[in-house]
Amino acid sequence: MKAQRPVVIWLTGLSGAGKSTIATALERYLCSQGQHTYLLDGDNVRLGLCEDLGFSDADREENIRRVAEVARLFVDAGLIVITAFISPFARDRALARAVVGPEQFIEVFVDTPLAECERRDPKGLYSRARRGLVTQFTGIDSPYEAPLCADIRVQTLGSAVQDIVRQISEYLNRRNRG
């Protein structure tokens, strides 16, 4: 009925890297193509399903596990799921891939240098982290393990959002043909 191949497009990267911006633009594009999508991000997950979780390593792991389980259910329902979470630990991303199923999991590394993320600082969080008002902040006092073999790597420095959306959609088209 949906005439599409369900999949999870898992965006990972530092805070301010551009995950939400890309996810929103990608969702808008896919919808314009008649595709059925769902976007999971901190705003709709951290406030509800994961409201009991903080930012310790264990809580981050549990947050990603729950997101992966929900993404798996949406894939089961036939949707193209886009997730936008820092997901800083390689181990947790590997778990997400295993939960969803490797055939239906596309890891997208939104590769933006820390200095650029900090310059953008869209939510003022880096500034707060530098002043010690936010702790365990990825890139400042909590690590980000960059993916070594993401399915797609996009660079937001020097590329327009629409170019990145095209890069991802072309990958999806190649995959659907293959």
Q: Does 17 engage in binding with ligand ADP (CB under 6 A)?
A: yes
| Binder among 159, 173, 175, 176 for ligand ADP (CB under 6 A) | 159
Catalytic site residue 87?
yes
| Binder among 80, 107, 156, 172 for ligand ADP (CB under 6 A) | 156
Whether the CA torsion 82, 112, 49, 73 is positive or negative: it is positive
Q: Does 161 engage in binding with ligand ADP (CB under 6 A)?
A: yes
What's the min distance (Å) between Cβ of 158 and ligand ADP?
8
| Binder among 4, 5, 6, 21 for ligand ADP (CB under 6 A) | 21
Dihedral angle computed from the Cα positions of residues 50, 95, 26 and 145, in that order, rounded to the nearest 10 degrees: 90
| Binder among 7, 8, 12, 18 for ligand ADP (CB under 6 A) | 18
Whether the CA torsion 83, 23, 110, 77 is positive or negative: it is positive
Q: Does 162 engage in binding with ligand ADP (CB under 6 A)?
A: no
What's the min distance (Å) between Cβ of 109 and ligand ADP?
12
Instruction: Give the strand pairing for 7-12 and 80-84.
Output: parallel
Give one DSSP letter per residue of 82-97, joined into a string: EEE-----HHHHHHHH
**Inter-axis angle of helices 90-100 and 57-76, to 10 degrees?**
20
List of residues contacting ligand ADP (CB under 6 A): 13, 15-22, 84, 120, 122, 156, 159-161, 164
Active-site positions? 87
